[in-house]
Amino acid sequence: MAAARRGLCEICPNAPPEHVDHCRKTGRVRGVLCFNCNSAIGKLGDDPGAVRRAAAYLEGNSWKPTLVAPGVYQLPS
């Protein structure tokens, strides 16, 4: 797996993969990650929604209202 990624983490291309990542519910191997990326997704509870919210927060989008109809905005919850 690591060779297929040219010896780099599957999330960040900055570090060598040191950990085989797996789904904690099914035990299925997902890939190889560096320590930091493996820890980060684990601390977010392996929840894709939490990862998306974290990305939106970092991009500054989590606090912006969403246009749902002309002149109608939905505030983030």
Query: What pTM was estimated for this model as a whole?
Result: 0.67
Domains of the chain: which residue ranges? Answer: 1-62
Q: CA angle, corner 34, sides to 33 and 37, nearest 5?
A: 80
Q: Domain 1-62 class?
A: alpha beta
Residue of 1, 5, 21 whose CA lies nearest to 13: 5
Q: What pLDDT score does 77 carry?
A: 65
pLDDT tens digits, 11-64? 988 888 888 998 888 989 988 999 999 999 999 999 999 998 888 888 876 677
DSSP string computed for 2-29? TTTTTTS-SS-TTS---EEEE-TTT--E
Which residues are CB-contacts of 70 (< 8 A; sequence separation ≥ 6)? none
Residue of 44, 45, 21, 23 whose CA lies nearest to 33: 21
Backbone angles phi and psi of 29, in degrees to 5 = -75, 130
Q: What pLDDT score does 36 carry?
A: 93
